[in-house]
Structure 1
Amino acid sequence: MKTEFKFSNLLGTVYCKGNLLFTPDGTCLLSPVGNRITAFDLINNKSYTLPFSHRRNTVHLALNPRGNLLLSVDDDGRAILTNFPRRLALHHFSFKAPISALAFSPSGRHFAVGIGRLIEVWHTPSTPDVSTEEGLEFAPFVRHRVYAGHYDTVQSVEWSSDSRFFLSAAKDLTARIWSLDPEEDFVPTTLAGHREGVLGAWFSCSQEEIYTVSQDGAVFQWNYTQKPTMNGEIDMIEDDEAPSQWRIVQRHYFMQNNAKVKCAAFHPESNLLVAGFSNGLFGLYELPEFNMIHTLSISQNDIDFVTMNKSGEWLAFGASKLGQLLVWEWQSESYILKQQGHFDSMNALVYSPDGQRIITTADDGKIKVWDTQSGFCIVTFTDHSSGVTACEFAKRGNVLFTSSLDGSVRAWDLIRYRNFRTFTAPTRLSFSSVAVDPSGEVVCAGSLDSFDIHVWSVQTGQLLDQLSGHEGPVASLAFAPSGDTIISGSWDHTVRIWSIFGRTQTSEPIQLQADVLHVAFRPDSKQVAVSTLDGQLTFWSVSEASQEAGVDGRRDVSGGRKISDRRTAANVARTKFFNCIAYSTDGTCVIAGGNSKYICLYDVQSGTLIKKFTVSVNLSLDGTQEFLNSRNLTEAGPRGLIDSHGQASDLEDRIARTDRTLPGATRGDLSARKTRPEVRVPAVAFSPTGRAFCAASTEGLLVYSLDNALQFDPFDLDLDITPASTIAAVHSKDYLLALVIAFRLNERPLIRRVYESIPVPDVSLVVKHLPTVYLARLFRFVAQATDESPHLEFNLRWIEALLSAHGPYLKDNAASIGSELRTVQKAVAKIQAELARLADDNVYALDYLLAQPVSSSAKEVNGDGGRQLRLMVDGNGAEEENADEGMEDEWTGLGDEDEGAVG
């Protein structure tokens, strides 16, 4: 089994905090997710996560106008400069303090950073039109100038279109105008008049007006004019006597019933202003008349950030409390993107049998279905009234079963997306585990309240039996893939094997040394893996009830120290066991995760640790550090637990941290919880294809895959194997040689060119004589081509030829090539589903057309009712015939010719 898994995507979380950012073409949205950055392709309906990560949560993003340089900054002011198209981190840099604003100039030569009360302007690294004499080649980040003048934190920075000036808005109730370089007759100007902190200031498209927005909902329009008289007219006097200044010419107010403005954005080309409020509403206004275009409620909490794309058609909103992300097209009043992650910790996950979907459950009572190809949540179930603890698929993959703390087990139809069956116990219980018979006839659930296992019939919903035998809460259940037995693990230190379809439902107990936390069946149903509280992984034979292997995982999984721990990471007991385990698709490896930052991959036969995966290095989470810095341990306790914001003078700053007391108060709200999230892995699962696995973590759903797209893996090269020789072999119609050479070079564009150049009649001959060493590569390529290219029948012919020519080899080597076969099966299943949907749509369209009434003139033209459809499809409808009598004879003639031809 291949073990080179790399992080590929982050699902389950779409927005945490910070600013959203559109790419210059306006088709891609960047969102900070924890200490990572996720990109949502709004045209192709896909999402991906950039491979690098910060040391703390990302809060500020900025792209240069060309869209090739991405600058991201975290909570501590540490920045990463990235080549965005290639997803490569270029430079790391640390600012002196946390930043509050970030913006690139329209020219792309500079970027401005707000650091506290100061504004710093820096040269953009690798700017091609700057001479290397300034040293930019050797020092990527060079500061241009520092601007001081504000008395409180700078909240936003906006540039003029010519990059000569920029505006800054701050909490000191003012906005200021600055020049990038000293300008003749220019003096930095202060725009004062607001009664609360200014959220944003923008130039108009002509740069003759300035608009400022404050937290209290005031919008001011500033013009560069002379002082008006009492009647509003400007005196025609000399400039020396009354010089022109920036003055307020219009005042507007949002009037949102005591709701504060949390964010705002302005689009100069279309003069559109959008504002998000603390009550979850947003408003769209047209300036300078301040005409309201839209007002819509999109969230139950504060809207933290809003932005607009370059054309001004799409508005993006982010609400951090519930993790909501929304893209709204205001002209058509439709959603382009509407996503929300779990706002509580995830408990369980499962792959669908075809590997195209991942189901996640969480303490918020929601069940979310994520598409593995696009990375989007396609449906959310909210019927459970409490936390959902476990989920399991039936073998066919159309029915999902979930257990919850609300005392119910529910069955979900994933075709119609509805809850069609609910199972309950005679007494009120909180179910913690669920298992489903592969045939989908029987569902079992275990509880921490009762020691019995409840068994229901899926068809009738009736309780069939209660399996008694455990003397402690049932922690985990698992059905054998063969469907004849079920195993249960309990806190009474036993694992029991049940034969529920037998005449006597007796169980065979397996005694262990500690509480059982999780059990898992091997895909061949012959072995079971058990994780216990003492950190041991044991592997047992189902038929013999004897132990076959064991692993001591305490040292492997242990890691991470909370800031409040008195003990070191090596001595903390809470991290020294595995909460979840899962077999690989071939059964040779097992993956395990626990309450630490590590995921461990073990080889079952030898019991050795193959690889350790670090879930997160985010210092904003507890448990990611092995050693604590002694300077953060003060007399009052750990520095991270001391509330430094409770003394803030602004009520909004205290409310953001659930402290509504007066500044200086010694006792606050005792019910307010001030906890730090802790890194842990509550669930792991392998993809049915074997090419990926996913892990539910504190930050979201992490997906690791065998990504071979970006690495060069040559195979049996010599001097004669070149792209030119490959093309020459194609021209000489030596297709087998060309395909082998292309696979040796392993360049995907070259392989695809050769692949599509082979004629269909020669496909079976090429496949028949292809060396078996290239079969896995060819299967993988054909599966990917089936998913990407439009040549539907051509790809299916290749798959048919491969399976026909190498059937015996595939049967004998199922373990080594099984993942590739599952990938092909997944691609074929997707084609089948798309064709079935298309056929259904065509049937409905034809039924609709056949049901349309036909006028008397059309009946005369087509006496046969079966030809009425052709008349309508060809555009010869009754409306067109009645609309133009001159054309009627011509259409009638065409109808006669067709009728004669048919006769």
Structure 2
Amino acid sequence: MTAPLPHEQEVWYAEFSPDGQNVVTASFDKTARVWDARSGRPRTTRLRHGDKVWSAGFSASGRKVVTASEDGTARIWDATTGEPLTAPLHHGASVNFAQFSPDEKWIVTASDDHTARIWDARTGRETVLPLNHSGSVRGARFSPNGQCVITASEDGTACLWDARTGRLLGRPLKHLGFVVFARFSPDGRRVVTASADRTASVWNAADGELIAGPLRHLSYLRFAQFSPDAGMVVTVSNDRTARIWSATTGLPVVEPMHLGGEVKAAEFNPDGSKIVTADSSGVAWIWKIRPPEATRPALEHKGAVRSARFGADGQRVITASDDGTARVWDSRTGRELTQPLSHSAPVHAALLSHDGRRALTASEDGTVHLWDLGTGRDLIDPLRHAAPVRFIQFGSREGRILTACDDGTVRIWDTSTGREVVSLLQYPGEIRAAQFSADGQRVIGCSADNSAQIWDATTGHPVGEPLRHSNVVWFAQFSPDGQRAVTASSDGTARIWDSRTGREVTKPLQHSGRVRFAEFSPDGRHVITICPDNTAVVWDIPECRVVAEPIKHAGEILSARFSPDGKRIVTASRDQTARVWDTLTGLPLSEPCTHRAAVEFAEFSPDGQEIATASQEGVARIWEIPEATSPIPLWLPRLAETLAGQRLDDMRITYPALDELVALKMEVAQSPATDPYTAWARRLFGE
């Protein structure tokens, strides 16, 4: 940080110059000031008004500054000398905001007189009729091309206007409370709004459709701003935080920035690496942004990466890609260890053998290959199928491989000869899932005939009755001890079965829609299920109950896996992130691991210290992940319940129980614990 940029009273607004060399601040001390961004020294004399100064901004060249004041005027100043350049621009009430057009020809102002106005920047004359609202106009800004203006009003709307004619464009963008701020993205394609309803939202500027949000704070918002590349949004709230979000997914990018007073404003610098904030303590600060980063080089393919799986020793990772290859990498250095393992079509699955000397790959081309990783060559002839192969597994019994094909067959092969040992079944449709039991004695599989089946892996005979649902079964898996099986179905249930008899051992795990995946925890006590509504749910199997609030993403969850110790879960989502969660509370344990496209798959390393992610952007990545502790602090479930409180204010908006938050903050502050949960809570409370 630089030295503080002091005023005699509250600093309400701050902004970088276009070249990043200067900062202008607006204060309740009736002045605006221009500062050197590096040294924190003043550049000009004070820019004086007759009352509080609400905003101050540079022109595109950085040579001029426009200010807006409680005294009912906006003023234009020379940014080098601090001298006024025109007569004051008058409204009938306080001027809340003023801004230059990109070409510096016009200025737009927003006022408590229920209007925004557009002025000629040289003459100080109005160029169109007032832009009218039914409440005070809190802000008005030009689009990047200068052709449109967006206004934010206490009537609960933001509106788009033609800057040349003053005509209203499209429908208003609505909130449940005052809209205190609205701004275009740098490319002009999106708009961000901030409201007294404690949310911000990102909208499509062309059609008014919601893109991301609501982005929630604990108190009303004051400000929101896009990063220069439009990939992030910073929001400022009366809860004394500034927060940075993905403008595409609405997920947080870094931890909240806690300040000593109410945060009045925040602004990115030109390259998006820093933010300047202003708060009610009378000080402005400059912060560096450090979003989460992968801890290893990207593992790159030329097509979407469908999976990234660790080897048993955690030293290697194998990736499967739509570019028709699987690749084996050193998980520490990111170095490719063999030549690409090539198919003639996308590779759906790739696994390393238990001893790490072989790899198994399955492809859209209908073949399965067993590779010698020392030479990069096939150990046996390809195992040929009549359709794409999506599921493969090494057996725990030496020399066995399981394959499942879209032609409805599940087969077991001998790895030394490449011959089919057992053909378990011929389903009428493609296989949804297939798996050996841990001892290799049985196989479970499911297809589109609304059932799953268990077979003897030696004889191929069915074991027990089919495990029936009333709709498609998407997934089936044995418990780690092999005594039970779980199935996931479009009938809205996951079910737990006795794997010997085929009888249900608990009541169905009920969901509100299709269940597309279910997996046991390593100790078999919990099951996680995935639904298309962007959630995953953790269940306690002995008690047949939901353990915590559902895990939520901003897009469909594509995979969910337990950590080796079962204390954590990693999810991968279409919202372009993977994230690690606490199993018993459902709370996130880290910031999102972000890609530039949907994340297809994520799993923990064998030691639980890292995760591997596979993305449609054509890369896999490896991330270091904090280790969970046990037991969970007693206050953590209370905090989750408090933050999800159901009290309603006079606008019928839910908000946390703040008295309980204060008590929890004191409890956390007084705790001597150093575990990740307590550290996370201290960051949350700004300790």
The TM-score by the shorter chain falls in which range? 0.3 to 0.5
Normalised TM-score (structure 1): 0.33
Larger radius of gyration: 1
In terms of fraction of residues, the more helix-rich structure is: 1
In terms of fraction of residues, the more strand-rich structure is: 2
